[in-house]
């Protein structure tokens, strides 16, 4: 099938370090990639305890392996370093500094520069990928706060800062300036994890930190009502009965009941609106900042949780489409394979008298992750092994794509970020679902999960 839809691929520079730049770009060109996205980092093999496992375990992906080996291995410990010398004077407004360190011998820090040059030579766009809200050595006072006053405790997929923390935001803006001036020839920027969390059930009850309270006040939002209604749901969810679980499922079939609840607990609407305002205002600030740095040509892409989680994470794609050139909701089905258990175990801990299967039936329905298990148990939900089918049907993602495309309504491009860590039959279906949906193209996360067979599938179904 011939299609003009956009295709971008996230390529970690370690693959150029391993496979060589021509091999990597020949592969990218062969599938019709029109853009690459990269992190400004390089690496070398490390040791357990010193380096970091690659690929990342994401809390419980113990069997997770990359498809394309690095230094001969599909799981490896890597020592990763910044590919550029940070300009520390830019970070003076923040207590945080990037960790530069000295360059170990045997690492070519120019690899990202070479990738940018090669992509340009082949007519591909280049997008930079940064983490503005993951400052090294994050302090407790900059972390999101749950409604009960506690903060996220490890293990977490990521320990990131509240977007309204001035210290974290100063670090994030300095990082953007530092990296984007260093790599000023790139076409686009992704600021990853610039949103509120949703990996844990508690995350939906953040952030009520003092920084957020102050910002909400500036926006004229009634923080007392927000706190009152977020607390009401927190209490309700800690005292569930089977009947209440059934009632919550009934709401999905009877949406006017949800309206009735929100009429009486409007603090939840203000809360979601506040989180969306926070994310959108960060993107606006970055946009203005890039313009002020004479980087008007750098397009912003908004990458975050897809529906339904984005409502709580603050990724308001409708509003972001006015600031960004593209919105890129993540279709990371391996994480969503584990979410019913991650949320479910928390619910069970809070409500020990509930049945595991009832909890899971409810969560799967609420998150719209339909699967074929007859009697659901926590053992069904984990980050799958490389060839293991993911429980939710791939088709369940089509409705999310259509929803985002309609919200964006042509004001920005809609390129979902499809994660290639899923078995080949589901990879085929995912490509077909995205290709045949209303979106304008897709990004693939990431080259390392594209085995030669998966590249071939992409070539056949997309190009």
Interface residues with Zn ion (CB under 5 A)?
A: 162, 164, 207, 209, 211-212
- Minimum CB separation of residue 231 from Zn ion in Å reads 16
Question: Between 8 and 314, whose beta carbon lies closer to Zn ion?
Answer: 314
Task: Name which of 314 and 340 has its Cβ closer to Zn ion.
Answer: 314
- Considering the complex, what minimum distance in angstroms separates the CB of residue 196 from Zn ion? 8
- What's the min distance (Å) between Cβ of 195 and Zn ion? 12
* Helix (H/G/I), strand (E/B), else coil: 398: helix
For Zn ion, the closer of residues 35 and 162 by Cβ is 162
Q: Are 371 and 49 in contact (CB under 8 A)?
A: no
Q: How far is the CB of 164 from Zn ion (least distance, A)?
A: 5
Own/partner long-range contacts of 352-358 (Cβ < 8 Å, ≥24 apart): 353/241, 354/240, 354/241, 354/242, 354/245, 355/242, 358/242, 358/245
Q: What is the DSSP letter of 323?
A: T
CA distance 317 to 324: 9
**Cβ contacts of 351 within 8 Å, gap of 6 or more:** 238, 239, 240, 359
Q: State which residue, 183 or 270, has the beta carbon closest to Zn ion.
A: 270
Check if the beta carbon of residue 333 is closer than 8 Å to that of residue 426: yes
User: Counting Cβ atoms within 10 Å, is residue 249 exposed (0-12), middle (13-18) or buried (19+)?
Assistant: middle
In the bound complex, what is the minimum distance in angstroms from residue 412's beta carbon to Zn ion? 26
CA distance 39 to 17: 13
Residue 189 or 209: the one with the smaller Cβ distance to Zn ion is 209
Q: Quick one: which of 31, 26, 187, 39 has its CA closest to 122?
A: 26
Q: Minimum distance between the CB of residue 386 and Zn ion, rounded to whole angstroms?
A: 37
Q: At what angle do helices 21-30 and 111-121 cross, to 10 degrees?
A: 40
- Residue 386, CA atoms < 13 Å, CB-side half-sphere: 13
Measure the CA–CA gap between 346 and 238, rounded to whole angstroms: 10
- By beta-carbon proximity to Zn ion, the closer residue of 101 and 149 is 149
Question: Which residue, 215 or 376, has its beta carbon nearer to Zn ion?
Answer: 215
Residue whose CB is less far from Zn ion, 10 or 146: 146
Token pair of 305 as six digits? 């949780």
SS3 for 151-172, per residue? Answer: CCCCCCCCCCCCCCCHHHHHHH
State the nearest-atom distance from the C-beta of 40 to Zn ion, in Å.
Answer: 28
Q: How far is the CB of 462 from Zn ion (least distance, A)?
A: 40
The distance of closest approach from Cβ of residue 216 to Zn ion in the complex, given in angstroms and rounded to an integer, is 10
State in angstroms the smallest separation of the CB of 203 from Zn ion: 12
CA distance 75 to 64: 8
Tell me the C-alpha distance between 430 and 452, whole Å. 17
Complex with Zn ion: residue 142 or 440, whichever CB lies closer: 142
Nearer to Zn ion among residue 156 and residue 380 (C-beta): 156
DSSP-assigned letters across all residues of 273-313: HHHHHHHHHHHHHHHHHHHHTT-TTPEEEEEEPPTTTHHHH
Q: Whose Cβ is closer to Zn ion: residue 118's or residue 142's?
A: 142
What lies within 8 Å, CB to CB, of 274 at 6+ separation is 212, 215, 216, 219, 221, 226
Closer residue to Zn ion (CB): 226 or 360: 226
* Tokens encoding 301: 């892409």
Q: In what order do the strands lie in the sheet with 41-45?
A: 41-45, 76-82, 52-54
For residue 313, the minimal CB distance to Zn ion (Å) is 13
Whether residue 187 contacts residue 297, with contact meaning beta carbons closer than 8 Å, is answered with yes
Q: What's the closest the beta carbon of residue 145 comes to Zn ion, in angstroms?
A: 6
């Amino acid at each position: 099938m011939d299609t003009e839809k956009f295709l971008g691929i996230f390529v970690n520079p370690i693959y150029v370090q391993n496979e060589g730049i021509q091999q990597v770009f020949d592969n990218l060109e062969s599938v019709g990639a029109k853009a690459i996205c990269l992190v400004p980092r390089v690496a070398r093999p490390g040791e357990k305890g010193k380096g970091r496992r690659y690929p990342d375990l994401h809390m419980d992906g113990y069997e997770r392996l990359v498809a394309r080996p690095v230094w001969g291995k599909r799981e490896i410990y890597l020592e990763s370093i910044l590919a550029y010398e940070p300009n520390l004077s830019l970070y003076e407004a923040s207590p945080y500094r990037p960790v530069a360190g000295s360059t170990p011998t045997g690492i070519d820090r120019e690899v990202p520069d070479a990738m940018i040059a090669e992509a340009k030579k082949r007519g591909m766009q280049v997008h930079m990928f940064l983490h503005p809200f993951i400052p090294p050595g994050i302090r407790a006072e900059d972390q999101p706060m749950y409604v009960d006053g506690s903060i996220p405790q490890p293990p977490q997929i990521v320990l990131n800062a509240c977007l309204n923390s001035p210290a974290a935001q100063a670090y994030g803006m300095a990082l953007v300036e530092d990296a984007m001036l260093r790599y000023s020839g790139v076409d686009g920027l992704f600021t990853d994890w610039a949103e509120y969390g949703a990996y844990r059930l508690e995350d939906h009850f953040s952030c009520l930190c003092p920084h957020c309270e102050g910002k909400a006040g500036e926006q004229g939002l009634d923080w007392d009502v927000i706190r009152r209604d977020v607390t009401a749901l927190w209490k309700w969810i800690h005292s569930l009965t089977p009947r209440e679980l059934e009632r919550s499922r009934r709401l999905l079939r009877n949406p006017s009941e949800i309206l009735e609840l929100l009429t009486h607990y409007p603090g939840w609407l203000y809360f979601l609106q506040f989180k969306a305002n926070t994310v959108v205002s960060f993107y606006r600030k970055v946009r203005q900042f890039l313009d002020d740095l004479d980087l008007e040509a750098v397009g912003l892409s908004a990458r975050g949780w897809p529906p339904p989680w984005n409502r709580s994470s603050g990724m308001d794609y409708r509003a972001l489409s006015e600031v960004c050139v593209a919105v890129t909701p993540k279709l990371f089905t391996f994480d969503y394979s584990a979410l019913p258990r991650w949320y479910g175990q928390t619910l069970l801990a809070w409500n020990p008298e509930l049945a595991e299967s009832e909890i899971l039936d409810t969560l799967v329905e609420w998150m719209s992750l339909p699967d074929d298990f007859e009697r659901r148990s926590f053992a069904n939900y984990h980050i799958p092994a490389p060839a293991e089918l993911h429980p939710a049907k791939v088709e369940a993602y089509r409705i999310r794509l259509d929803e985002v495309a309609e919200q964006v309504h042509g004001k920005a491009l809609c390129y979902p970020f499809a994660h290639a860590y899923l078995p080949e039959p589901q990879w085929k279906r995912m490509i077909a679902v995205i290709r045949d949906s209303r979106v304008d193209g897709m990004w693939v996360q990431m080259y390392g999960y594209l085995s030669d067979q998966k590249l071939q599938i992409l070539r056949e179904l997309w190009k």
